[in-house]
């Protein structure tokens, strides 16, 4: 591209700063981050979200009318014409301005995002504008890069992207935490003779809900295409107001025919390391910014609560070290012998709480951990039953600062065992007859897992609250925007 082609097509700040082509004429479009005015010159920092870096526009006296300059404040959107010249500032180049068009003003009395530190709680209330801050710009660019890397990984490894339904008639996890989907009149729904809501008259002729997982349908795909994955929105009506739970989140669920639990762990570990490495290799500027933010945040904490590693060190550590693998039973032994006093007691058969998971990862092993072979009664009905009659071939991957990031298992492939287990936990056969039938026609060993996308983004960005890594979070009592 030669110098003046900048004017032929739209060009974005990332490219202008990277190419740093002195003396070329440019048009920069973006939002004002700061404006600094002295007697003879005005400096305007502009960002268009293509990079964490701003470009500086330098307006010499008389280059632009006073009227126009007076309309420029933080948050305004500008179209700036000028020439790229060498800069003394943070960037190699800056724009020597010849003309400015104000595309959209932002009243400084009203615009809420000012060039100062805002709390994340405050910015959650301004979710429509928070992408214009450095931190959220970085997070959403990294979120994109990770989503892209997920598709790339699976495509490169011969997986097929399978679109599983969002509206379903079954409860894949059997946890009963579903949002109902209905078109019936909420005030006067049709009733059956015994006074219950008559769902045969509903849109789908039955009770339906938003999916809690694409796994069951994913398994149908794997038992035909061998290697599939899903990547879609998932809904859970659990009333967990924690920094790790959303009511609407995105989940990635690979499912592989002929894989056993061992293969499943190998896939999960390779996949996670690939994704973290992809971010390190492709999001360096944004991660550097978040690394500094993370260090600043850690300084505010009491010494014993501080992370031993910085953000970038933590990411590199995960890429370079094998995950620790042990059984649930071995983990319970470690926890029972731990000096630390837990809020919730641990005993074989109890579900592990996040304090236990984090103790194992952050204090005991100091690396990611894969726990396997959990007691059957605390896990979902579809997991493969072991010969001991007590445990199932389950695996959870636990990450520092996060706790559970992946949950998965080898699947029960024996028709009778699967049907009986579903009955035991109260899942009606008519809601999953098609799932059971795959165990009658060409059943095979297979395994898969679910990665919570926001928990991955949380880990990679070093943020503390899951509400801050999805553009518009859905949590109890909160569906604004």
By CB under 5 A, residue 407 contacts Mg ion: yes
Q: What is the nearest approach in angstroms of ligand 4AD to the Cβ of residue 397? A: 8
d(C-alpha 454, C-alpha 459), whole Å: 9
Contact 281, 432 (CB under 8 A): no
DSSP string, 281-321: HH-HHHHHHHHHHHHHHHHTS-GGGS-SS-HHHHHHHHHHS
172 binds, among Mg ion, ligand 4AD, none (CB under 5 to 8 A by kind): ligand 4AD
Count of other CB atoms within 10 angstroms of residue 407: 20
Q: What is the nearest approach in angstroms of ligand 4AD to the Cβ of residue 361? A: 14
In eight-state DSSP terms, residue 5 is: G
Q: What is the nearest approach in angstroms of Mg ion to the Cβ of residue 237? A: 16
173 binds, among Mg ion, ligand 4AD, none (CB under 5 to 8 A by kind): ligand 4AD
Q: Which is nearer to ligand 4AD, 173 or 413 (CB)?
A: 173
Q: How many residues does the chain have?
A: 481
253 binds, among Mg ion, ligand 4AD, none (CB under 5 to 8 A by kind): ligand 4AD
Q: Which is nearer to ligand 4AD, 209 or 215 (CB)?
A: 215
- Residues 407/410/413/414 CA torsion (nearest 10 deg): -100
How many residues in the shown chain lie near Mg ion by CB under 5 A?
1
Q: What is the nearest approach in angstroms of Mg ion to the Cβ of residue 364? A: 20
Count of other CB atoms within 10 angstroms of residue 175: 13
Q: What stretches of 198-242 show up as alpha helix (H) in DSSP? A: 215-225
349-355 contacts at long range (C-beta below 8 A, 24 or more positions apart): 349/375, 349/377, 349/378, 350/378, 351/378, 352/328, 354/244, 354/403, 354/404
454 binds, among Mg ion, ligand 4AD, none (CB under 5 to 8 A by kind): ligand 4AD
Q: Which is nearer to Mg ion, 167 or 378 (CB)?
A: 378
Q: Which is nearer to Mg ion, 97 or 251 (CB)?
A: 251
Q: What is the nearest approach in angstroms of ligand 4AD to the Cβ of residue 480? A: 18
Sites for Mg ion among residues 349-368 (CB under 5 A): none
335 binds, among Mg ion, ligand 4AD, none (CB under 5 to 8 A by kind): none
Q: What is the nearest approach in angstroms of Mg ion to the Cβ of residue 231? A: 18
Q: Which is nearer to Mg ion, 190 or 349 (CB)?
A: 349
Rounded to 10°, the helix 261-282/311-320 angle is 140
Q: What is the nearest approach in angstroms of Mg ion to the Cβ of residue 324? A: 18
**Strands 93-104 and 55-60, how do they pair?**
parallel
d(C-alpha 470, C-alpha 183), whole Å: 29
Q: Which is nearer to ligand 4AD, 228 or 283 (CB)?
A: 228
368 binds, among Mg ion, ligand 4AD, none (CB under 5 to 8 A by kind): none
Contact 398, 360 (CB under 8 A): yes
Contact 136, 176 (CB under 8 A): no
Q: Which is nearer to ligand 4AD, 133 or 259 (CB)?
A: 259
Q: What is the nearest approach in angstroms of Mg ion to the Cβ of residue 443? A: 24
> Interface with ligand 4AD by CB under 6 A: which residues?
172-173, 213, 215, 236, 245-246, 249, 251, 253, 404-408, 448-450, 452, 454-455
Residue nearest to Mg ion according to CB distances in the complex: 407
Contact 354, 379 (CB under 8 A): no
| Per-residue tokens: 166 | 């969002």
d(C-alpha 94, C-alpha 250), whole Å: 40
By CB under 5 A, residue 408 contacts Mg ion: no
d(C-alpha 422, C-alpha 436), whole Å: 9
Q: What is the nearest approach in angstroms of Mg ion to the Cβ of residue 302? A: 31
d(C-alpha 122, C-alpha 135), whole Å: 14
251 binds, among Mg ion, ligand 4AD, none (CB under 5 to 8 A by kind): ligand 4AD
Q: What is the nearest approach in angstroms of ligand 4AD to the Cβ of residue 408? A: 4
Nearest C-alpha neighbor of 190 from the set 201, 177, 175, 204: 201
Residues at the site binding Mg ion, with contacts judged by CB under 5 A: 407
């Amino acid at each position: 591209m030669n110098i003046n082609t900048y004017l032929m097509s739209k060009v974005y700040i990332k490219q202008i700063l990277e190419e740093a082509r002195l003396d070329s004429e440019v048009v920069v479009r973006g939002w004002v981050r700061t404006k600094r005015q002295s007697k003879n010159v005005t400096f305007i920092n502009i960002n268009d979200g293509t990079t964490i870096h701003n470009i500086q526009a330098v307006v010499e006296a008389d280059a632009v009318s006073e009227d126009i300059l007076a309309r420029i404040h933080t948050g305004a959107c500008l179209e700036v014409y000028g020439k790229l010249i060498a800069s003394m500032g943070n960037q190699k180049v800056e724009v020597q301005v010849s003309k400015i068009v104000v595309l959209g003003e932002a009243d400084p009395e009203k615009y809420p995002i000012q060039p100062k530190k805002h709390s994340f709680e405050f910015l959650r209330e301004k979710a429509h504008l928070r992408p214009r801050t450095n931190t959220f710009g970085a997070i959403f660019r990294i979120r994109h890069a990770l989503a892209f890397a997920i598709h790339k990984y699976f495509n490169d490894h011969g997986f097929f992207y399978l679109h599983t339904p969002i509206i379903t008639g079954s409860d894949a996890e059997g946890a009963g935490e579903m949002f109902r989907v209905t078109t019936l009149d909420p005030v006067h729904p049709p009733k059956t003779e015994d006074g219950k809501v008559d769902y045969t008259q509903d849109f789908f002729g039955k009770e339906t809900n938003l999916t809690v997982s694409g796994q069951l349908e994913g398994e149908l795909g794997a038992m035909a295409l061998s290697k599939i994955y899903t990547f879609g929105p998932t809904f859970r009506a659990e009333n967990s107001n924690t920094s790790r739970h959303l009511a609407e989140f995105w989940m990635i669920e690979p499912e592989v025919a002929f894989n056993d639990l061992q293969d499943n762990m190998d896939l999960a570990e390779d996949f996670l390391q690939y994704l973290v490495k992809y971010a390190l290799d492709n999001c360096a500027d944004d991660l550097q910014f978040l690394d500094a933010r993370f260090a600043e945040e850690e300084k505010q904490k009491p010494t014993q609560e501080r992370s031993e590693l910085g953000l970038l060190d933590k990411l590199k550590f995960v890429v370079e070290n094998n995950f620790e693998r042990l059984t649930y039973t071995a983990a319970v032994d470690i926890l029972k012998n731990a000096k630390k006093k837990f809020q919730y007691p641990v005993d074989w058969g109890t579900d592990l709480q996040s304090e236990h998971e984090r103790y194992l990862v952050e204090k005991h092993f100091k690396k990611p951990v894969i726990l396997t072979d959990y007691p059957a009664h605390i896990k979902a009905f579809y997991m493969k039953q072991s010969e001991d009659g007590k445990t199932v071939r389950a695996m959870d991957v636990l990450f520092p600062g996060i706790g559970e990031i992946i949950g998965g298992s080898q699947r029960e492939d024996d028709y009778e065992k699967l049907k009986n287990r579903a009955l035991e936990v109260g899942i009606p056969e008519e809601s999953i007859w098609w799932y059971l039938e795959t165990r009658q026609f060409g059943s095979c060993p297979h395994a898969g897992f679910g990665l919570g996308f926001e928990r991955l983004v949380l880990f990679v960005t070093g943020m503390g609250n899951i509400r801050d890594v999805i553009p518009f979070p859905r949590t109890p009592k909160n569906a604004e925007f």
